[in-house]
Structure 1
Amino acid sequence: MNDTLYGKSVASAANIRAAEEKAIAAGVTEDELIDKAATELAEEVIRRTDKRGKILFVTGGGNNGADGLTSAKKLSELGFSAAVMPVGDKNSPRNEELIAGLKRSGVAFTDKIERGYAVIVDCVFGIGLSREPSGEYARAIDEINASGALVIAADVPSGLDADTGYAYSHCVRADVTVTFTAVKSGLLLGEGRNYAGEIIVANIGIDFEATGRIIDEFEAVLPPRRPVSHKGNYGRVRVIGGSECMPGAPLMCFESAVAASRSGAGLVTLCVPDCMKAAYQSRVTETMLKFLPSENGKLRFDETALAELADGANAIVIGPGMGKGEDNYKIVEWLIRNYNGTLIIDADGLNALSLNPSVLLAKKCEIILTPHVAEFRRLCPEFDVEKPRTEIIRTFAKRYGVCLAVKSATTVVTDGEAVFFNVTGTPALAKGGSGDVLGGMTAAFACVLPPLAALKAACFHFGKSGERAAKRLNTVTSVLAGDVIVEIKYAE
């Protein structure tokens, strides 16, 4: 994801429609808005090709099609070889007039996409699509994808839901999307990033109400370390997890603790089942170790032990590698009701919490939840993994008074009021252990920042650390959690 999106506003389709209606009511004509969008679209085409390359505009019957027809006219007048392929027989009167004018001026028209075009501009559907494209529309989308040309989508790739990023079975796979006014949330969520390609935001001069903002580097700044300071100034973190029943559990829990230490926490203690002393004592060198009561290879609820580890801790992470122990919910519940620092619940801690999310209403501490989309679905059954809606995420956080990061290619971060989108990262992070690293980073940052600021900074720097690891190793396949931890040293 290009860093030019950092700090950009994100909006829903409804908010953009409302903004356009407001602008028109204030005296801006629809033709003026179309002309501005067409100009931005034409300029992007010019940046991607020259007058030797053939350009095809595939247009629908609404305003998205009008943007394309007007852009084709502008490019033709500049001497570019621009052709048009209208799709469907339901053109608006404006589009019929534009088509007639283009034909009079000698612009070529076609009814089939063949190879040989340098650029194809998708202007079939705009932000209003709500059903599966079919018939002539489906055929046009499939031909665009099979063309071999550079594909530029106007506003949103045709076949992609502008709000949720749900991709219908016929969906344009764009190389570039020129989106007007603001980034549409569907370009970031769901399957959006698989279909949008590079996202260019084109300002056409209308005011709008944003639903959120993309996190930038200025929101991810950590407080500087003072020359005269000690470990107590940078927080005490406890990481609770591990289970004999999960072969990789020692590594998961350990990585979370090391990530916290690498991210600046003053003192990190790894709290694991006492039945796993041998597994940890030979490996753990960078953090403190504390052994907790266990039974059948899993953590056992012990109020005295929990009270002891919670005492003096600025932040606690619970969940990495815990497995599905019978006492997991009791442990999570006790911390929610009794701990008074910042509690980060992740992984198996979230699975335990899903048994009774309403216990969050009894919290004594600040709480940060870091579920991936499937884990969030278990916490919030009305959430649709394939059609994620930010309002459902925000409402959940507000209802329970928590900070929440719902992890995916784009992570949605909210405290129930403001909504932020994190776009840093790489497919290299789609691997077990990555979430444990984020949990540790979040805990360290929560020792020196308020919960929402800590969560935003952690998500941003976690993604950047993954990007650096993938670049250093020249792969998005072979990056391990430990490789990401090495790169945290630059997260300042």
Structure 2
Amino acid sequence: MPVPVVSVAQMRQWEQASWSAGRTEAAVIARVGACLAAWLRRHVPHNDRILILAGKGHNGDDARAALPHLQGRAVDLVEVRDPETALPDLERALARGPDWILDGLFGIGLNRPLAEPWCRLIERINQARSRIVSVDVPSGLDADTGRPWGATLRATCTLTLAAPKQGLLHPAAHTFTGRLEVIPDIGLVPCPIQSELCWTLPEDFLDWPPPRPVAAHKGTFGHLAIVAGSTGYHGAAVLAARAAQRARPGLITLITPASVYAVVASQLQAVMVHPWSAAHPLPGRYTALLFGPGLAAADLPAEIPATLARLWQEANVPIVVDASALDHVPRGPIPRDALRVLTPHPGEAARLLGTTTNEVQSNRVAAVRALSGQFGGAWIVLKGYQTLIGRQHGPIFVNPSGNPDLAQGGSGDVLAGYLAGLCAQPPLQGDPERLIRYAVWQHGAAADALSRRHPAWVVEDLVRTLGRVAPHRVASTARPATPTTPP
């Protein structure tokens, strides 16, 4: 299940509930140390040197507890209880050229500005050419507000424990957290906290999508219609169709303006391609519709926006709307129980809300609520770093996957096509929340898999990788086989 995004006070409440239930701090620290070591063993090349910085609190205990599980690795430990007395030891350790630093200086309990000696120590660490992995929170960062307490370590990755702390999701924190990952199982009792924001875990999809029935046929998995492409933007239609194929609906039909029909049709094989005609039956027998990728040319047939507006208000089949087509979606109510999904990036969301991109980014949760409210309670996928998925009411889910390599033309078209391909399948339509979350997670996880293999991938590579990332492989990156026993 997804985990709530919590405040420091809520995290303390969760810990107290665990101690009252008989769990011990020593067992949790041992578990955390084993999890940290498991992550390092998976991500750090065997010959790289690791420097562990352990402060005097439980954050330092967590980092220190990783050491017994790193036998056979080049590891140095520096105890940092006083910044001035620890500085010579730190300088000697940095002189050995650590490739990675495990940051266990300060945890979520820090609630006051750091003294100048601590600030100097942190800045010295930041100057080292090492990748920093922070335990729970980058040292020096306020876990509630995301603001630095004078100086903060700039992490390559933050491994937050049990659940994300609300400050780590604040835009001001992104410079310091680097990639944010959650180690969910640290030995506490089941979480007693409920939150508006929930963090998606790869484990949420261990049994999803469900296995296909042995006697299934094309009709079992629906028929997706995509209305996409225009002069100068025909590639978006091709990318969306190919991504939809990776979701494997039974059939896909692509309807595109006559001006680009030939160039689009020549690039697709299994997808049926038709030139746009107002007489084409929509929704007909289609089980889902996608409007948007590449519908941006000035000579776009006027019937396309009008058809989208009509279907949005009347059709009972799922409808996904992306890109330029977002401007043609009518505000107001939608059919009861009809699945509607809008997938704006922050600039498009700002345009729809009549505000600025900065305003959207400053409160992305409010933007999701407002958009859904204006468009009849539709699901909103607000793209960007830590994509949000939600509606006017209910939980909003934070997607953890993806990376800056997705910042290239066509990646949004790929997401829209893949999401619509899943929406078209009747066996999956009963759980739209999980369906949408899975599509977004898989899209980002495919990008992560590509970036680990080579840094110069392009969107066509994303299409080929989509759907191939197994959640159980990602879920195990910080899961030790024997949590408390050193190897």
TM-score (norm 2): 0.70
Partner residue of 2:5 out of 5, 8, 12: 12
Task: Write the letter of the residue equivalent to 1:121.
Answer: D
Deviations for 1:201-250, whole angstroms, at most 9, x for unmatched residues? 56363644143242433253145044352x33221211112222xx2x11
Question: Equivalents in 2 of 1:491, 1:147: separation in Å?
Answer: 34
- SS of 2:237's equivalent? helix
Tell me, yes or no, if structure 1 residue 280 matches structure 2 residue 264: yes
Shift of 1:480: 2.6
Q: Which structure 2 segments of 5+ residues have no match?
A: 42-48, 68-75, 471-487
Question: Equivalents in 2 of 1:185, 1:431: separation in Å?
Answer: 29
Question: Equivalents in 1 of 2:138, 2:253: separation in Å?
Answer: 48
TM-aligned CA distance change 1:475 to 1:361, over 3 Å: same
TM-aligned CA distance change 1:174 to 1:360, over 3 Å: same
Equivalent in the alignment of 1:458: 439
Task: Write the letter of the residue equivalent to 2:58.
Answer: D
TM-aligned CA distance change 1:45 to 1:334, over 3 Å: closer
Tell me, yes or no, if structure 1 residue 444 matches structure 2 residue 421: yes
Shift of 1:110: 4.3
- SS of 2:434's equivalent? helix
Task: Write the letter of the residue equivalent to 1:423.
Answer: P
Equivalent in the alignment of 2:400: 423
Partner residue of 2:226 out of 203, 221, 239: 239
Question: Do the aligned residues in 2 keep the contact of 1:166 with 1:387 (CA within 8 Å)?
Answer: no
Tell me, yes or no, if structure 1 residue 67 matches structure 2 residue 58: yes
Deviations for 1:285-329, whole angstroms, at most 9, x for unmatched residues? 332222226xxxxxxxxxx547x2322221111110111658575
Larger radius of gyration: 1
TM-aligned CA distance change 1:139 to 1:176, over 3 Å: same
Equivalent in the alignment of 2:79: 83
Question: Do the aligned residues in 2 keep the contact of 1:72 with 1:84 (CA within 8 Å)?
Answer: no
Question: Do the aligned residues in 2 keep the contact of 1:428 with 1:466 (CA within 8 Å)?
Answer: yes
Partner residue of 1:322 out of 289, 295, 301: 295
Question: Equivalents in 2 of 1:26, 1:263: separation in Å?
Answer: 41
Equivalent in the alignment of 1:218: 206
Shift of 1:268: 1.5
Deviations for 1:176-196, whole angstroms, at most 9, x for unmatched residues? 545333233555675379625
Equivalent in the alignment of 1:179: 160
Equivalent in the alignment of 1:487: 465
Question: Do the aligned residues in 2 keep the contact of 1:272 with 1:290 (CA within 8 Å)?
Answer: yes
Question: Equivalents in 2 of 1:490, 1:55: separation in Å?
Answer: 35
Shift of 1:252: 0.7
Matched pairs, number? 429
Shift of 1:470: 5.1
Shift of 1:259: 2.1
TM-aligned CA distance change 1:186 to 1:335, over 3 Å: farther
**C-alpha RMSD of matched pairs (Å):** 4.5
Partner residue of 2:252 out of 249, 260, 268: 268
Question: Equivalents in 1 of 2:457, 2:359: separation in Å?
Answer: 30
Question: Equivalents in 2 of 1:130, 1:236: separation in Å?
Answer: 58
Q: Which has the higher contact order (CA 8 A, sep 6+)?
A: 2
Question: Equivalents in 1 of 2:335, 2:287: separation in Å?
Answer: 16
- SS of 1:401's equivalent? coil
Shift of 1:151: 3.7
TM-aligned CA distance change 1:318 to 1:126, over 3 Å: same
Q: Identity across aligned pairs (percent)?
A: 23
